[in-house]
Amino acid sequence: MQNGQPSRTAFAAAAHRAAYQILEQGRFFRDPLALKILGTDPEALACEAEEHPSRRRIRIFIAVRSRFAEDRLAEAVEQGVSQLVVLGAGLDTYAYRSPFGDRLRIFEVDHPATQAWKRGRLAEAGIPIPDWLTFAPIDFEQKTLADGLDAAGFDPAQASFFTWLGVVPYLTESAIFGALGFIAGLAGGAQVVFDYSNPPESLTTEQRARHDARAARVGELGEAWVSFFEPAALHARLAGLGFTEIEDLGPSQIAARYFPDRAANAHEAGGHILRAVATSR
């Protein structure tokens, strides 16, 4: 992202979530605030999305990863999780439509410029900030995740859940595993859901062409993809950090769970949605 400017890819992801509510009628992921917080004319948004049919895959992937994360979060809350940390929150709306009220304290972590932009969008859209939400603006060049959350009142002794969607590919491995190491080491135990992609060289010719096109687009926005992982190697590193349970849905598993009629044509390589669990210490 540009210095002092909100994330442009955060806006793009929000536009995909909003377009999904129109074009796919929110089939797998309903977000009644997606259009409202974006502040874009629905008809214009739908027309723009339909003019780029190649973007439908990423729009659906974004919807599915949100559905997966929110389903797993709901299960975790029923099992005692009392804190949610939304890493790289962008225009995510979960905190403003959470069904758990005061049962779940929510922290939104993002760069100060992106968070200021979001707060402006919330005000313009007339979306109230709930009592259970705390903003944690963190510039990772100046403050660690641990320090930022501590300043916001996060309690490491409470069972916690982290969502980290649409962020990992843009970070260096040191930043990724630094954050994951912090999550795995929390005294109260924690779960994290994030998405990642296989290395480009492992993709089919068709997948590589789509990857290269998207990589060029985000690169032009000044937010290039940096990190990719092979599942087995990633799982081993997560286990080394202390995660004891890993659920990883690659393209074929995503298709089998959410689109069974297409599962036979799914490839193993591509975008993944992963949940990792670390028990209390």
- Alpha-carbon radius of gyration of the chain: 18
Between helix 173-184 and helix 231-241 the angle, nearest 10°, is 40
Which single residue is written with the structure tokens 């969008």?
Answer: 121
pLDDT per 10-residue tile (average), the chain, 281 residues: 67 93 94 95 93 89 96 98 97 98 97 94 97 94 89 97 94 93 97 93 79 73 82 97 96 89 62 94 70
- Euclidean distance between CA atoms 209 and 51, whole angstroms: 19
Question: Does residue 263 belong to any structural domain of this protein?
Answer: yes
pLDDT at residue number 181: 97
Tell me the per-residue pLDDT of 209-257, one tens digit each, with 9 for 90 and over: 787 777 777 676 667 788 999 999 999 999 999 999 999 999 889 999 9
DSSP state of 212: H
Question: Does residue 2 belong to any structural domain of this protein?
Answer: no
Question: Does residue 90 belong to any structural domain of this protein?
Answer: yes
The alpha carbon of 2 is separated from its chain's Cα centroid by a whole number of angstroms, namely: 20
Hey, CA dihedral for 52, 117, 69, 246, is it positive or negative?
Answer: positive
pLDDT at residue number 183: 97
pLDDT at residue number 193: 98
Question: Does residue 273 belong to any structural domain of this protein?
Answer: yes
Q: How many CB atoms lie within 10 A of CB 116?
A: 15
DSSP 111-171: -HHHHHHHHHHHHHHT-PPPTTEEEEE--TTT--HHHHHHHHT--TTS-EEEEETT-GGGS
Question: Does residue 1 belong to any structural domain of this protein?
Answer: no
- Residues in contact with 25: Cβ distance below 8 Å, sequence separation at least 6, in sequence order: none
- Euclidean distance between CA atoms 115 and 108, whole angstroms: 9
Q: How many CB atoms lie within 10 A of CB 108?
A: 24
Domain that holds residue 201: 8-278
Domain count, the chain: 1
pTM: predicted TM-score of the whole model, two decimal places: 0.92
Strand partners, 134: 107
Hey, CA dihedral for 103, 254, 268, 172, is it positive or negative?
Answer: negative
CATH code at position 233: 3.40.50.150
